[in-house]
Amino acid sequence: MHKSGLVELEAVLAVARRENFRAAAHDLDMSPSALSNAIAGLEQRLDVRLFNRTTRSVSLTEAGAQFVEQIAPALSRIHQAVENINTHRDTPSGTLRINAYAGAARQVFTPVVTEFMKRYPDMQVEIVTQTQFIDIVEDGFDGGLRHLDDVPRDMIAIPAGPAMEFAVVAAPAYFTNRPKPHTPDDLLQHDCIKSRLGSGAIYRWEFEHNGLASSLEVPGKLVLDEINLLLDAARAGIGIANLPLSAVQHDLAAGTLMRVLADWAPVFSRLAFYYPSRKHVSAGLRAFITLLREFETRRQHEDIPYGPVIPF
């Protein structure tokens, strides 16, 4: 039997993790056909089927599960050896994969990610935006960007950016024939533009007044999960929206939106970059963490802005 290459072993681990050839190929920056051929070639040389394949699913065979259990620690040690060597370079190299919802990615991209790529030209950065929460370890990411309150407890979190204040807004035309709400309960008589969270749940509007917090399931016929669509709908006079103050400040100044219930506005947690609490951290991830902390210190002392604070 020929010696198996690391590419074939990486392919087996990726498919085992993702249970999908196309997703695994994407993780490894390979074509699906190349990945399939690599695994098929390995199976042929081993004379053992590692995966059960159907048109709908991929799963490890008993032999495949045993194989993965044995090779995974060895490959992990090889990767760590490479990373240890990488720390002796003048600049780190490799790929940094970050998962975030789109608003979080926009907030940190210009000030942090662009600076990171200028400082470390040998690094590649891949940012995958998705609304749904995922397991970043299982899906092969180095870190994630979410609200601090949403970061899993087994992760290390680094706060990034200011706290977020919400604003209840609508187009002036919306109130032409409607009274403005003076308390959250008044919203029950209005058309509200609902938003869907990354968990899939519809967001219950939250309020705080005189130290007392409350939430309300508002009525509305339109549900959106993207910040620009929410803004467009509010500007069009479709209904009342609940959006980050930083995202609507320009419209408030221009008069295209007006704010109500300002005395009831809560302040929410900041964004955080989080990563697994493991002993060894890659050189690229370590450099990104250092830069993020540096930027956060500068922001606090020199008032250097992040991008707009956007929750979705």
pLDDT tens for residues 30-59? 888 888 888 998 999 999 999 998 877 889
Letter string b/e over residues 208-235, b meaning 16 or more CB atoms within 10 A of that residue's CB: eeeeeeeebebebeeebbebeebbebbb
Kindly state which CATH superfamily the domain 94-163+270-302 is placed in. Periplasmic binding protein-like II (3.40.190.10)
The CA-atom distances, in angstroms, between 86 and each of 10, 78, 110, 122, 159 are 20, 12, 26, 11, 27
pTM of the model: 0.56
Letter string b/e over residues 183-197, b meaning 16 or more CB atoms within 10 A of that residue's CB: ebeebeebbbbbbeb
6-86 and 164-268 agree in CATH topology: no
Distance CA 207, CA 267 (A): 9
Q: What is the pLDDT of residue 230?
A: 93
Locate the domains of the chain by residue range. 6-86, 94-163+270-302, 164-268
Q: 6-86, what's its fold?
A: Arc Repressor Mutant, subunit A (1.10.10)
**Beta-carbon count within 10 A of 29 CB:** 9
| CATH number for the domain running over 164-268 | 3.40.190.290
Q: What is the pLDDT of residue 154?
A: 86
Residues 6+ away with beta carbon under 8 Å from 142: 96, 97, 98, 136, 275, 282, 284, 285
Residue ranges for the chain with pLDDT beneath 70: 1-5, 82-90, 198-199, 269, 278-280, 299-312
